[in-house]
Structure formats: structure tokens, C-alpha cells
Amino acid sequence: MIFNVSICYIDKNINLKYIIMKTKISILLSLFAFLVVLSTGCHRSNPDNKTTMNDLNIPDGFTFETTHEVPVTIKMPSTINFNDSYRSRFNIYTANPAEGGKLLLSGSFDNNNMFTGKIKVPVALSEIYVTTIVGDLTVQITTDTFKEDGVIINFGDDYGLNPPDTTEPGGKSIATEEAFTMHAPSTTRTGSNMVGNGDFETNDFGSIYFWSTPHPVDNRWYFTQYQGSMEWYDDGGDHVVRTPWTEPGNYYYGGVSQMIDANPGDVITLSADIKSVGSKNRLYSWIYLIPRTANGSILAYYNLTYYHPSSAWTTKTLVATMPSGTASCQVLVWTNDYTANAAVYVDNVVVTGPITDSDGDGVDDDLDDYPNDPSMAFNVYYPNENDWGTLAYEDLWPGEGDYDFNDLVLDYHFKSILNSSNQLVKYYMDYSTRAVGASLINGFGLMMGGDPTNIASVTGTQLTENYISLTSNGTENNQTNSVIFLFDNAFNTIGASGSQFINTKPDVAYVDPDTNQLVVTYSTPTSTDVTGTAPYNPFIVVDRDRGKEVHLAGEEPTDLADNALFGTWIDDSNPATGKWYQTANNLPWAIDLPVSFDYPVEQVEILNAYNHFREWAESGGSVYTDWYEDNTGYRVQENIYTPPASK
């Protein structure tokens, strides 16, 4: 073991930093060798004796991404008319928010009833939870569950436009055999119930011959009589309506109907709890919104199918926009029951609408994060509503670093504000320099897509060194894209420790990091398709040399990078193939993590701090996608910098 450990250091290439720090190296090496000898991590974690980054076989094209962009399409039912005055909202969470899921993204639907966009999520995240006005879904997002066009989520699968049926749907494809299990919408519903006796606690029912027989708007339910009648039933103290328990010929179809007032353009939501008792194989149910004109003519048959209802109460939700000419709307629960000693049970019918949208931006007040500001609608977050991410850099590019990824360790959290057309209006980036394991003076910036003149202002930056030239709106001069500099001297963003190496050496005083906030405000709201997604294209500028940029692997430099540096020293960037900021072995100079990263101590290569980094990297990111987490056996704790407060 000791021999292996020695190899780690004897083999290491001499680099610039070693020369600069020559006097401190021998002390550090002996201290470090001592620490590693105490540890069994290097030996245990590297059965192939791959103890340096240069030993790794990294597949071409792998850029050390711990996150990826997943294309997502959300399709809403065709019964809803999305337009400039109605856009509604979806939310995407890491999991069901009722079970601790964290908000990632929100947005609205376009005039084609769709959202099409990208979400940036940890590769390790295997599913997301999507909430909309029509229901909630858990959706798989692992790369083997979607194709090139991404994840397609269709909320309209069980929607229909046909009149109530009187023949058994037997031969038809069963719409309820869904790929996904739809849950009742968690979206807040405001407004009073537009139907009377929605919980069926009162035994007051009128009769109509067939579902189409006219009846008044009177807050009262009507049972159809054409082929038997539904029953009012005491279900263990809770009253419901159900199909006949025993009907002549075991052949029943019919329903319960109520008429409400409605107007053109009203967005009406109907939900009902439905279950089966007895054999469900020949039980079928539908919920209908049937808008009618003033003289009773039918304008549409908006419906949602629920075949073979579960024996557990399930909430089904139908949303529709009332068409031109609407004066009233029939709320109908329609059922087919072809089985003796079995029934479809219905309870808790709730009808709400129309929506209230005080600022007229198309997003209901109760879904609008800024209900009185038409220029803003949604708060979205990165990495999510609660957690911080980390950017970790090596700063000797185009020379070789020591792969401890602590020359600059910058934590960040984005809160962005979108308008109701999903355009970026403003963002806040909280940032905190946690470590500067460097002797060079480095700066940090972000390149975003889009014309810099779309930006009104940039605040919260710390520029003191006079090598960054800004335009009047605070973006960098002479850039095609929007380049925002947060700081030009990382040492100014963290206090002094008495050493050049701040928060990377256990024997040097700890500096409590500050948090700063960048605020970027747009004058022309810009689609996130143009700006890209947070954290955009972040980079450091090394040693106050503006041309010397270090980006994440695979990310393009800005217009002000010195192109003469590409392909020099050990950099193997090749603009022709899109290879950027990787060595011939495909090693990077920077990594981005969707968590607040516990980085290695000074001069410990990352693969000797994280036991599964090697497998993750050599697999091209397909195994141990969560290598950076604090799971059992994942870390060599003594090789990871631990602030004294948390020791």
C-alpha cells in the first residue's frame, strides 16, 4: 500500500504551481503522505492501481457532466383553449412535493396546448414529478426511457370529444391502461363549487329520461331513467351515487346530471371521485362537460374516460374552455355497468371556474407568483428551490493541474423570474466563494446566449482589477453573447486566512465564506431557448490575463479568449470537433455539481477523495452518477476538506 501511495506522487508531472510553490511542497508532501498512509482509501478504492487522473481511460466525448439537459414536451388536453389570455402553469419537481420534492421549473403552455423546452437536472435523478391543472404525474427521465426528442408527457390521453355511449366499449383500446399513473391535481383550486349537493349528502334527485333531456339550472342532480337509474347510497356513513347493484339483464347505462351557468371563454374544471365495488371488468365511467347555447343546443362533448375503475377512490379531473355561444354547461357523470353485484360509485363532484387573472397575463391569480405584475409570472430555480450547486476549477490551464479541483470553489444558487411566455425577465444568482486553493489572481464570469443589449442592468459584481471592460448595462464589452463578470479577483470574495491557500489546507485557519448576490435584469425578456439554462457557461479568467479563460469541458470560450492558447501545453481543444478544455486523455479543468460539493484537500486528486469517481469517469458517466454524494463507501473522508465548524 505504501508503495502505491508513493507512486501517486513520484509519477506526478511537475507543473507550474509546483515551481511557484516549491518551498512549501516538501512540507506539504510529507504531511500529505503521512495522512494517506493513515488512510486505506487510496488502496481500497483503486483495485486497478489507477491512482492518478492520468491513468484514467476517459471515453472521447465524455465531458464530466453531473447534470444534463433533458428535452421535455408536455401536452395538455385539446378541450382547453390556450391563448394569450389563458396559459395556466405547470411545475416540475424532483419528486412529489408532498413527499419532499423540490421545485425545479415552472412554465406555461403555448397556443398549441404544449410546453416544449429543456430541463437541466442531475444525471442521477431518474424521475421527475409534474403538476398541472388536469393532474399530476411521476415521469421517468433516465436516458434509456426517452429518445432524441426527449420525454413526452401527454395529459390528454384519456380525454375525448364523443357523446355519451350506450354500447359497451369492449373492443376499443382501453385508454386507462396508462403508461403513467395520473394523480389528482395538487394545484390549488379556488372558488366555490358550482354544483349543488356535490358530495351527494342530500337525497334530492330529479329525473330525466335520457342524458340529453333538457333540465333547468337549479343546483340539483337529475338521474337518467332510460335504462334503469343510479342509486343514492349510504357507503358506510358517506353518501354517494352508484350504478344499480342488481339490474335487469345485468345491463345498465345512464348517469347523473346537473346544469350550471357558463359563458364563452370560461375555463371550467370538473373533478369527481370514482371507485368500483365488485368485479370491475365490465364497469366503465366518464365525466362530461357539455356546453349548450341559450336554446339548449349542444356545442361540444368534452369528456374524460375512466374504464374499470380502481377499488380505491380515485379523483378524475376534466378541464375545458367553454366555446363561443355557451350559455350553460351540463355536468354529467356517465356510467356503463354490465355486471350483477358490482357497481361504479361516484362522490365529491367539484366544478370550479372561471379563473381570476387580475394582471391579465394569462396565469390565474392562484398560480401566478406575481398576480399583480403582468411582466412576471413564475419563479424557477437551479439546481432547485432549496439546494446550491458548485463550480470547482483547476487554474493552470493550458498546463496541468493537480486535480484537487479547489483552485476556485464557487457555490451558487439561481432564482430566475419568467414571464407568462416563459421568457427570462430577471435572475438572482447567490454566490459564495468557499475556497481559493491558488496563488494566482483569478476572476469569474458567465456567458449566456442572447444579445447583451437585451439586458438592462447587472448589479452585485465585485470588479477591482481593471482588466474587465464593461458596457453601460454592466455586461462585458466586445462580446457577441451576454457575458457577466461576477468578480475579477477571487481573493476579494473571501477573507484572508494567513495563507494563499484559503480553505483547502486543514492546518490553515478557516475563513467563513460570505454570500453575495448577482442580479441581472432584462430590458427585453428573452426565451430560455436563447439564454440557455443556469448555470449557463461559467468560466474563470486566470491570473488577470483576460485571454486566458478556463471553461467546463465541452463549453465554448467567449469572443475575448486568446485562441493562440488552444492546443498548447496539455490542452487538446479542437474547435473543429467541438472539443474544448480537455487534455488528450480527455481530462477537464473544471467540474460543475448539482450539490454543494465537498471538495478535496490541497493537492489530493479528486479520485483519491471520491471512491467511485474513477468508475464514473471511465464509464463515460454511466455508472455511479451520484459519485459526489455522501453515501456509504463513497468517500475518503480525510482527503476531503472539512470546515472546522462541521468537524
Q: Which positions lie near Ca ion, rule CB under 5 A?
A: 199-200, 238-239, 347, 357, 359, 361, 363, 368, 370, 373, 377, 394, 401-402, 404, 407
- Which is closer to Ca ion, CB of 341 or CB of 372? 372
Residue 163 CB, shortest distance to Ca ion, in Å, is 28
Least distance to Ca ion from the beta carbon of 206, Å? 18
CB-nearer residue toward Ca ion: 94 or 420:
420
Q: What is the dihedral of CA 496, 499, 505, 507, to 10 degrees?
A: -100
Q: Which of 375, 369, 372, 406 is nearest to 391 (CA)?
A: 406
Minimum Å gap between C-beta 146 and Ca ion is: 32
- Minimum distance from CB of 357 to Ca ion (Å)? 4
Nearer to Ca ion, 131 or 475 (CB): 131
- Cβ proximity to Ca ion, 420 vs 482, nearer residue: 420
Helix (H) or strand (E) holding 9: helix 2-10
Q: Which of 394, 592, 558, 588 is nearest to 484 (CA)?
A: 558
Give the Cα separation of 429 and 451 in Å (integer). Answer: 20
Order across the sheet with 221-224: list the strands.
Answer: 159-160, 302-307, 283-292, 328-337, 252-261, 221-224, 205-208
Contact indicator for 80, 267 with CB cutoff of 8 Å: yes
Over its C-alpha atoms, the chain yields an Rg (Å, rounded) of: 31
- Tell me the closest approach of the beta carbon of residue 233 to Ca ion, in angstroms: 10
Q: Residue of minimal CB distance from Ca ion?
A: 368
List the grid coordinates of 382.
437551479
Compute the least distance from the CB of residue 365 to Ca ion, in Å: 6
Q: CB of 361: closest distance to Ca ion in angstroms?
A: 4
Instruction: Closer to Ca ion by CB, 233 or 302: give it.
Output: 233
Nearer to Ca ion (CB atom), residue 200 or residue 338: 200
- In angstroms, what is the minimal distance from the CB of 250 to Ca ion? 26
**Mutual angle of helices 2-10 and 22-38, in 10-degree steps:** 160
The string of DSSP letters for 279-323 reads --TTEEEEEEEEEE-TT--B---EEEEEES--SS-EEEEEEEEPP
Report the C-alpha gap between 581 and 572 in whole angstroms: 7
CB of 21 or CB of 340, closer to Ca ion: 21
What is the closest distance, in whole angstroms, from the C-beta atom of residue 88 to Ca ion in the complex?
A: 10
Instruction: Report d(CA 415, CA 430) in Å as an integer.
Output: 8
Nearer to Ca ion, 29 or 298 (CB): 29
Judged by beta carbon, residue 394 or residue 555, the one nearer Ca ion is 394
625: Cβ contacts below 8 Å, ≥ 6 apart: 66, 122, 123, 124, 616
Q: How far is CA 58 from CA 66, 122, 615, in A?
A: 15, 20, 10
C-alpha 165/C-alpha 371 separation (Å) is 42
Which three-class secondary structure state does DSSP give residue 445?
strand
CB 146 within 8 A of CB 132: no
**Whether 641 contacts 439, CB under 8 Å:** no
| DSSP H/E element including 274 | strand 267-277
Q: Which is nearer to Ca ion, 398 or 401 (CB)?
A: 401
Q: Which helix (H) or strand (E) holds 31?
A: helix 22-38
Q: Which is nearer to Ca ion, 89 or 120 (CB)?
A: 89
C-alpha torsion sign, points 208, 210, 211, 214: negative
Minimal distance, residue 549 CB to Ca ion, in Å: 17
CB of 603 to Ca ion, least distance (A): 7
Please, what is the minimum distance in Å from the beta carbon of residue 372 to Ca ion?
Answer: 7
C-beta separation of 130 from 183 below 8 A: no
Q: Quick one: 23 or 324, whose CB is closer to Ca ion?
A: 23
> To the nearest whole angstrom, how small is the minimum distance from the Cβ of residue 475 to Ca ion?
27
| Residues in contact with 188: Cβ distance below 8 Å, sequence separation at least 6, in sequence order | 366, 367
In this complex, which beta carbon is closest to Ca ion, that of residue 394 or of residue 592?
A: 394
